[in-house]
Amino acid sequence: MAERLIIDRDTCAGHGLCYGNAPDIMDCDEQGDPVLLLDPIPDELIDRAKHIVNICPERALSLRSD
């Protein structure tokens, strides 16, 4: 089953912890907003994706299984 990282853009405050801790999964745009680099998340990066979901201070990230 594929895991997708979901960004709640209304909740995101642009702290940058997600792309700072997982630059292989996310980057940022010119305004500092997160941008997904991978969709779905490869199995070998699921633990890293879970980590950035857990450290987001605004809880703007979640994982969804498709």
Residue 20: both structure tokens together: 């700072």
Residue 3: both structure tokens together: 């895991």
Contact 25, 49 (CB under 8 A): yes
What are the CA-CA distances from residue 66 to residues 1, 6, 21, 32, 58 (Å)?
6, 12, 24, 28, 24
Contact 33, 9 (CB under 8 A): yes
Asked if omega into 40 is within 30° of 0 (cis), the reply is yes
pLDDT tens string, the chain, 66 residues long: the values are 799 999 999 999 999 999 999 999 999 999 989 999 999 999 999 999 999 999 999 999 999 998
Give the pLDDT of residue 54.
Answer: 98
The answer, as to whether pTM is greater than 0.85, is yes
